[in-house]
Amino acid sequence: MALSRLNRIIAVVVLIFAIIYGWKCLFEARRPPCYTIDVKYFGSNIPTSSDNEDFSIKPFKIPFERSQVDDMVNRVSKTRFYEPQILIDNNLVNKSTYGFNRQTIEMVRDYLINTYDWKKTVQELNTFDHYKTNIAGLDIHFVRVTHSSRINENKEAILFLHGWPSSFLEYLDVARLLNSSSNTNYDLIIPSLPGYGYSDAPLRPGMNPTQIARIMQNLMQRLGHSSYVVCGGDWGAAIGTSMAQLYPGHVRGLLITMSAVATTWKHYLQLALGHYVNPSILLDYDEQEFLVRRFNAFDFAKILWREGGYFHLQATKPDTIGYALNDSPIGLAAYILEKWSRWSNNEIDIDQSINSGLDRFTLDQLLSNVVLYWTTGTITSSMRLYFEYASQISSGHDDKILKGPLAASVPVAIVNYRNEILYAPRTIVRSKYPNIKLWLCHTTGGHFASMEKPREYARDIEKFLLQL
């Protein structure tokens, strides 16, 4: 009798657990993930109430100061180059073995002194409509590109988010192409991230990608867009991902050119099996065709070792290197251009090129980005984003959003380029982005594809919009 009663109790307990488990499997799995973040203020004086906030949008013109240019040229002309140079033997030592090539930076120095015209660049940039608006205590700069003859028509709102060491300049050519399109009427918003270019630098700690996501959502709402598409690479991809997680009802679509996924033991197992057993365990056929010989676990580790030093430096002591970069224009140019070179080419391209592979861009494009950092003095504040991101990870406070997936309701496009820094297999990426509508692989292009390949980039955006 007692045993029978015990069996009934066990059966009831098992039934309860079965119901709970079934509920989670059938209903909770279908429910979109819910993420929240603590709201932070980054200005000098915290307002006592929302009534004191300034919601106005003010026109802005990029300033030109002759004294800044004269000082920059004077510093460039007095550059003290290192000696001696290591001899190149094309066996153990090539042009890029020790870092950015000396002959290339000497050419950049001569161009800065004798040819480059920042005043002309400022005049050209001011042909765009620039604005500033205050969000979270910071004046946020943005460019707005819209077709003037279609002001009253419904517009496809697209937010472009740049990364480091880039700027809003990266998307201007794409904006021109989309604005000239006869297919759709666009409202294109291209902001400078906080601490970059003409946006204010945070005065308080904690400006990580999720906080920037909140700021960008506020910006789009302030401009009258409750629904919009986000495009970005590098930090722009991370921020856009956070926006899609935090505001899935507003992000109509997300297009990114570099996907970063928090890896789990399952992913490491897939990577190991794909490397040691058979690539098809990890990679679909089209991915194998795209990667050819590039997928190799040891190559992946080698890339992290060779190219990850800047990340560790900026994630731990950004202000220390900031003193040097903020004081030397040639030091700043070498530091930034080395990334544009390495992240747009493979090693053979760099070593065979007379200018370290920078011919994928014009020198005016490259130096406009460098001089923007110089004249605004924002290299240090831009690098602090790495410190804030590393602090966010180590705190564990935002693990849910950093490691969790997007809602399945958000369509995603992943655009891969041959010379991107890293490639994440679709099998792994899908764990973060469950609703991949478009997966593209380009056999050319690199990390800064929107500037290197603006026509292809614009076509990919329009291709993605047709999927929404």
pLDDT at 284 (0 to 100): 67
pLDDT at 152 (0 to 100): 59
CA distance 38 to 210: 10
Catalytic residue among 131, 186, 228, 386: 386
pLDDT at 28 (0 to 100): 45
Is residue 386 part of the annotated active site? The answer reads yes
pLDDT at 207 (0 to 100): 97
CA distance 72 to 88: 31
Contact 253, 412 (CB under 8 A): yes
pLDDT at 26 (0 to 100): 47
pLDDT at 307 (0 to 100): 85
pTM: 0.89
For the chain, 468 residues long, give each residue's pLDDT as a single digit of tens.
555 666 666 666 666 665 665 555 444 444 567 787 888 999 988 777 666 778 899 999 999 999 999 999 999 999 999 888 888 776 777 788 888 999 999 999 999 999 999 999 999 999 999 999 999 999 999 999 997 665 556 788 999 999 999 999 999 999 999 998 766 789 999 999 999 999 999 999 999 999 999 999 999 999 999 999 999 999 999 999 999 999 999 999 999 998 877 776 666 666 666 666 667 667 766 666 666 554 566 777 777 788 889 999 999 999 999 999 999 999 999 999 999 999 998 888 888 888 899 999 999 999 999 999 999 999 999 999 999 999 999 998 889 999 899 999 999 999 999 899 888 888 888 889 999 999 999 999 999 999 999 999 999 999 999 999
Contact 460, 415 (CB under 8 A): yes
pLDDT at 351 (0 to 100): 83
Q: Is the dihedral of CA 414, 415, 420, 423 positive or negative?
A: positive
At 443 the three-state DSSP class reads strand
Catalytic residue among 173, 187, 200, 234: 234
pLDDT at 135 (0 to 100): 96
Is residue 447 part of the annotated active site? The answer reads yes
Is residue 299 part of the annotated active site? The answer reads no
CA distance 290 to 293: 9
Catalytic residue among 130, 162, 442, 447: 447
> What does 169-220 look like in DSSP terms, one character per residue?
GGGHHHHHHHHT-SS--EEEEEEPPTTSTTSPPPSSS---HHHHHHHHHHHH
User: Of 394, 395, 388, which Cα lies nearest the Cα of 208?
Assistant: 388
